[in-house]
Homo-oligomer: A and B are copies of this chain.
Amino acid sequence: MQALRKNPVAVRPVGADRPALSISNLSVRFGARTILESINLSARKGEFVCIVGSSGSGKTTLLRVLAGLVRADEGKVLFEGTEISGPSRDRAIIFQDYSKALLPWRTVRGNVALSLEARNVPAAEQEAIIAELVARMGLSHAKDQFPNQLSGGMQQRVQIARCLAQDPKLLLMDEPFGALDAMTRQTLQDEILQLVADKHIATVFITHDLEEAIYLGDRVVVLGGSPASAVESMEIDLPRPRNQLTTREDSRFLAYRHRLFEFLVHERSPLAPQRKGQD
Whether a CB of chain B sits under 8 angstroms from the CB of A152 is yes
Within 8 A of B (CB), among A239-256: none
Which of A37-45, A53-61, A78-86 is the contact stretch? A53-61
- Among the stretches A19-27, A67-75, A93-101, A114-122, the one at the interface with B is A93-101
| A181-B208 in contact (CB<8A) | yes
How many A residues, CB 8 Å from partner?
53
Q: How far is the CA of A264 from the CA of B156 in the complex (A)?
A: 21
Beta-carbon nearest neighbor of A210 in chain B = B182
Using Cβ atoms and an 8 Å threshold, which residues of chain B touch A100?
99-100
A177-210, CB under 8 A of B: which get 1 and which 0? 0111111110110000000000000000000111
Q: A59: which B residues are within 8 A, CB to CB? A: 151
Contact yes or no, A185 B157, CB < 8 A: no
Of all chain B residues, the one with the shortest Cβ separation from A30 is B149
Task: Identify which of B96, B97, B157, B271 contacts A184 (C-beta below 8 A).
Answer: B271
Contact of A208 among B30, B185, B273 (CB under 8 A): B185
In the complex, the answer to whether A55 meets B269 with C-beta atoms within 8 Å is no
Q: Is the C-beta of A270 less than 8 angstroms from some C-beta in chain B?
A: yes
In the assembled complex, A154 has its CB within 8 A of some CB on chain B: yes
Q: Which residues of B contact A182 (CB under 8 A)?
A: 208-210, 261, 264
A103 sits at the interface (CB 8 A): no
One of B57, B142, B208 near A179 (C-beta < 8 A): B208
Given contacts A56-B154, A188-B271, 9 further A-B contacts (CB under 8 A): A30-B149, A54-B181, A54-B184, A55-B179, A56-B151, A58-B151, A141-B279, A181-B208, A183-B265
* A185→B210 CA distance, assembly (Å): 13
